[in-house]
Chain A
Amino acid sequence: MFLEVINNQRLASDYYLLVTQSTASAQTRPGQFFHLKIGKKYSYDPLLRRPLSVHKVDRSKGRISFLYRIIGKGTKMLSFYQAGDRIDALGPLGKGFKTDFKNKQILVIGGGMGIAPLYPLVDSLLNSNQVTFLIGGNNQQDLKYFLDFPINSGVIFDAASIDGSIEFKGTVIDLWEKSYSAGFNPDFLFACGPKAMLRRVKLIAEERAIPGQVSLEERMGCGSGVCLSCVCHTNKGNQRVCKEGPVFSLQEVSLE
């Protein structure tokens, strides 16, 4: 399967938005990811594919977008792709978020790059539920794209930055705590972000008996479930982030 690049645009320092045309848009669900082979077909460096979560799906135009940050060789090379280039991709992979809710109070909480995959989730929830979407990052610069992103007016949205460059100074967890003191208590929550943040989310959710789901990242080989590189521990034993995940029940997964 190929993703055809429509646009690959630098957003801020090392953040990029990749918009592609794909026949897979119809079957792509929030929380799923694609496994991209970056570089020429027979180039062996980088050898492995790179996983990227779906950031936006536009079924009518047949488009799938990704938001990525340059980390190393693979994402650096990806940033050189231009409109018209084709990317060899496997996907959509993994199981997405649970979305069959009705009339629920739902908290969606994202940190750093973990915010990217939450947009399609928010989109699919907002019609029949009350969604509160909280995001956090290091500074205004890192969050700029998210702050500018058009959000449906039915969604309660708020953001925090650690350095205080946007109004709420602190982590996204602090932001959640603020809304909790104001009486907000969701029926279900979704979280994606750094491990440390997810651990805190799990702890608090357990205290308040809020069920939820988290999306995890792990080093991957195949993405197809054969190599067992990407496992995490759950109360059902080891599970593969690429196959049974990347979305797991907050209650079942171990984040140690």
Chain B
Amino acid sequence: MKEIDLSTKLGEITLKNPVITASGTCGYGQELEDYMDLEQLGALTVKGITLQAKTGNPVPRIVETPAGILNSIGLENPGLEGFLADKIKIIKGYQLPVFVNISGYSIEDFVLLAEKLAEISCIAALEVNVSCPNIPGGGLAFGTDPELIYQITKQVKAAYPGSVIVKLSPNVTAISDMAIAAQEGGADIISLINTLQGMAIDLERQKPVFANTFGGLSGPAIKPVALRMVYQVAQKIKIPIIGMGGIMTGQDAVEFLLAGASAVAIGTATLIHPDAPLMIIKEIKAYLQDKKINNIQEIIGKVLN
């Protein structure tokens, strides 16, 4: 039997298979090496970084919900300086494409990060996380305003010569408008979805569980929403999509591919099964085999009209 071609393209980037680890759920890769051969992944997205180091939110930072988790990590990260000093050397050791996720509290933050990271050749793409609040400690997320998404994308593109992924927040009424804004700003790739805003209440203390009140919902619970958004966005834009949100199995991943995603990212699943991304690659392959499909491109966007 012919070897199945799992390779896929995200603009200028070619992945040997469509499975990527999602930001914040795979550290810098290192931690997962005990559980899997990272080089078998399509790509790796490292934890989001900000200009200044962040110590993150108080604990508890995680709550289990039916078929999901709420997290309130608060973007704990070593900041640009710490990243350059300690993490770049880890990334340099990898053969596979590595995406670096960036967050900011102002457009200038994003631009500064992009300028500095532009000097580093081992990064395959920047993933711009527009889900965080536009002022430290709260406020409206950049990701809910198409004009801001357009501005951030445009300015990051101007500062960064490589591929730029814009990662969209699902906490909006018209996701396609956000995707179109990113495309017009010059994004090479769109990724969606980030976590859905939610909350949990502690019955003993009669207070919100999280110090920050709200947290981000991820996992199987959000899959139908994520799938719907990928499907809607795929109908409106020309640039490739990385689909994510609740993918636990190869079957889930195939649904996203059929809905128009050119690649998928695995988040919560990796927290539970650290080798989940590799299992998912195998299951995608088995699905294609079963359907007698030799090239994964045949199913990408097949459900779109």
A residues neighboring B (CB under 8 Å): 37, 42, 44-49, 90, 218-222, 224-232, 237-238, 243
Residues of B with C-beta under 8 A to A243:
31
Q: Are B32 and A226 in contact (CB under 8 A)?
A: yes
Q: In angstroms, how far is the closest chain A Cβ from the Cβ of B127? A: 17
Q: Would A229 and B248 count as touching, CB distance under 8 A?
A: no
B59 touches A224 (CB 8 A): no
Q: Contacts of B118 on A, CB cut-off 8 Å?
A: none
Cβ A222 vs Cβ B271 within 8 A: yes
Question: Nearest 10 A-B pairs (CB), nearest first?
Answer: A229-B62, A226-B27, A44-B67, A222-B271, A225-B31, A219-B60, A44-B220, A221-B271, A229-B61, A221-B62
Query: Residue of A at shortest CB range from B28?
Result: A226
Give Cα A224 to B59, complex, Å.
17
Contact indicator B27/A225 (Cβ below 8 Å)? yes
- Which of chain A's residues has its CB closest to B221's CB? A44
A90 to B64, CA, bound (A): 19
Instruction: Please name 6 pairs of A and B residues whose Cβ atoms are closer than 8 Å in the assembled complex, sorted by A.
Output: A44-B220, A46-B64, A47-B64, A47-B268, A226-B274, A228-B61
The interface stretch among B69-77, B190-198, B226-234, B237-245 is: B69-77
Knowing A231-B56, A232-B59 touch, does A226 contact B73 (C-beta < 8 A)?
no
Give Cα A220–Cα B69 distance, bound, in whole angstroms. 11
> Residue B93 at the A interface, CB < 8 A?
no
Given that A224-B32, A226-B31 are contacting pairs, would A48 and B272 also be in contact in the complex, using a CB cutoff of 8 Å?
A: yes
Interface-central residue, A44, A46, A47, A218, by most chain B CB under 10 Å = A47
On whether the beta carbons of A227 and B56 are closer than 8 Å, the reply is no
Note all chain A residues with C-beta closer than 8 A to B27. Answer: 225-226
Q: Is the CB of A42 within 8 A of B249?
A: yes
Known: A218-B60, A224-B35, A243-B31. 4 other contacts (CB 8 A): A44-B67, A47-B69, A221-B69, A228-B47
Kindly list chain B residues whose C-beta atoms are within 8 Å of the C-beta of A226: 25-27, 31-32, 270-271, 274
| Contact surface of B with A, Cβ cutoff 8 Å | 24-27, 31-32, 34-35, 47, 55-56, 59-64, 66-69, 71, 73, 76, 219-221, 248-249, 268, 270-274
Find chain A residues with CB under 8 A from B67 CB. Answer: 44-45, 47
Contact partner, B59, options A47, A227, A231, Cβ 8 Å = A231
Q: Is the CB of B69 within 8 A of A228?
A: no
- Residues of chain A within 8 A (CB-CB) of B68 are 47
Q: Which residues of B contact A231 (CB under 8 A)?
A: 56, 59, 61, 76
Inter-chain CA distance A47–B219, complex, in Å, is: 9
Task: Tell me the interface secondary structure of chain B in the complex.
Answer: loop
Whether B71 contacts A229 by the Cβ 8 Å rule is yes
- Determine the residue in chain A with the shortest Cβ distance to B21: A226
Bound-state CA distance A7–B119 (Å) is: 58
In Å, the complex CA distance between A90 and B248 comes to: 18
Contact present for A237 and B271 (CB under 8 Å): no
Known: A37-B272, A237-B55, A238-B76. A227 touches B25 (CB 8 A): yes
Contact A224 B64 (CB under 8 A): no
How far apart are the CA atoms of A232 and B76 in the complex, in Å?
A: 12
Whether A238 contacts B56 by the Cβ 8 Å rule is yes
Q: Nearest Cβ distance between residue A43 and chain B, in whole angstroms?
A: 9
Known A47-B219, A48-B271; contact A224-B31, beta-carbon cutoff 8 A: yes
**Do residues B63 and A224 form an inter-chain contact, with CB atoms below 8 A?**
no
- Nearest CB in chain B: distance from A193 CB, A: 18
A227 touching B73 in the complex, CB below 8 Å, given contacts A47-B220, A219-B60: yes
Residue of B nearest to A48 (CB): B64
CA distance A159 to B164 in the complex (A): 62
- The answer to whether B272 and A47 have CB atoms under 8 Å apart is yes
Tell me which residues across on chain B come within 8 A of A49, comparing CB atoms: 272
Q: Which of A219, A220, A226 has the most C-beta atoms of chain B within 10 angstroms of its own C-beta?
A: A226
In the complex, what distance in Å separates the CA atom of A232 from the CA atom of B61?
A: 11
Residues of B within 8 A of A229 (CB): 59-62, 71, 73
